[in-house]
Amino acid sequence: MELWFTEKQNDNFSVSYRVRETLYVEKTPFQHLAVLDTVPFGRMLVLDGIVQTSVVDEYIYHEMIAHVPLNTHPDPKRVLIIGGGDGGTLREVTKHPKVEKATLVEIDERVIAVSRKFLPELACGFDAANAEVVIGDGIKYVAENKNTFDLIIVDSTDPVGPAVGLFSLEFYRSVHEALREDGIFVAQTESPYFMADLIARIYKDISGIFPVTRTYWACIPTYPGSMWSFTLGSKKYDPLTVAPEAILDYETRYYTPAIHRACFAMPRFLEERFK
Ligand code: SAM
């Protein structure tokens, strides 16, 4: 018998994965959580029916959300990650030798516990000596910590449920206050094919607050449409002026000095949306 999991993007488009085994299912106080062992992408974390990450292609997303801003800031000592309960972003952030402390604020402690059990390749990030984990709402945490961080990364679920506020103008203002005077903010901002209006709105909101705003992208096979966007707001440093030789040389599988530059190149259909 063949088992398939289908992620429904909208009424007209869905993606299906052949499933070897359903490893875990739970209804947490925040969301439906599942871990599937799929034939094409190995173990996958699925929240409310949406693929969050897979062991086969996770490195692309986690390296791009972490290393682009980390290598834009000359001294990223204090880093805050909102969401990211699988641990992959924390694993990448704690690779950077200048990071003294990385705090991860995840609203659903079950995501962390289940990732520790089924996704150890990602959850190893929680074992870094300079990692701190806080269970709570990232929106509240950001509002309570002013002028504290060099880098804030929003590694959230899609803008539904507890993540809705993480895509709001009010939250971006709060992030600006939580950053130090030369701080950087980056967020995963969804699919340029399916959510172009949302990305254009986010770009406009962030550019009204931060003097430097840049959208960049990477191809991540398990996200709908593959092309996935990240939007960065910076108080001072521009990722486009980072010299390739200033990019630190640590182990990555996707991110390189050339990718750091190339990921900001926009196809014309998108360029026209971000003016
Ligand atoms: N890479 C993933 C993606 O783009 O699909 C996101 C991964 S990570 C599992 C997302 C996490 O954000 C979830 O574990 C969810 O519980 C958490 N989250 C959602 N809203 C949050 C909030 N307001 N504060 C803190 N964490 C939140």
**Section 254-275 average pLDDT:** 90
Average pLDDT, the chain: 96
Work out the percent of the chain whose per-residue pLDDT is above 90.
91
pTM of the model: 0.97
Of the listed ranges 36-40, 101-105, 191-195, 257-261, the one predicted with least confidence: 191-195
- Reported as a single tens digit per residue, the pLDDT across 84-131 is 999 999 999 999 999 999 999 999 999 999 999 999 999 999 999 999
Residue 226 has pLDDT above 90, yes or no: yes
Residue 272 has pLDDT above 80, yes or no: yes
Boundaries of every domain in the chain: 3-54, 58-274
Closest by CA to 113, choosing from 189, 195, 30, is: 30
Burial of 45 per CB tally in 10 Å (0-12, 13-18, 19+):
buried
Residues within 6 Å of ligand 1 by CB: 30, 52-53, 61, 82-86, 105-108, 111, 137-139, 155-157, 162-163, 166, 188
Q: What is the CA(156)–ligand 1 centre distance, in A?
A: 3
Token pair 């172009």: residue: 196
The CATH number of 58-274 is 3.40.50.150
Residue 274 has pLDDT above 80, yes or no: no
pLDDT-derived band at 275, boundaries 50, 70, 90: low
The pair of three-digit structure tokens given for residue 6, joined into one six-digit string: 């289908």
For residues 80 and 134, give the distance between their C-alpha atoms in angstroms, rounded to a whole number: 10
Q: What is the CA(254)–ligand 1 centre distance, in A?
A: 22
| pLDDT at residue 248 in the model | 87
Alpha-helical regions (H) of the chain = 58-70, 88-93, 109-118, 120-123, 138-144, 169-178, 196-207, 257-262, 268-271
pLDDT-derived band at 27, boundaries 50, 70, 90: very high
Catalytic residue list contains 155? yes
For residues 27 and 89, give the distance between their C-alpha atoms in angstroms, rounded to a whole number: 24
CATH topology match: 3-54 vs 58-274 = no
Work out the percent of the chain whose per-residue pLDDT is above 70.
100
CATH class name, domain 3-54:
mainly beta
Q: What is the CA(83)–ligand 1 centre distance, in A?
A: 4
| pLDDT at residue 83 in the model | 98
Q: Which of 156, 166, 168, 230 to mutate to test the pocket of ligand 1 (most atoms within 8 A of CB)?
A: 156
State residue 170 phi and psi, 5-degree precision. Answer: -60, -40
| pLDDT at residue 10 in the model | 86
- Reported as a single tens digit per residue, the pLDDT across 140-178 is 999 999 999 999 999 999 888 889 999 999 999 999 999
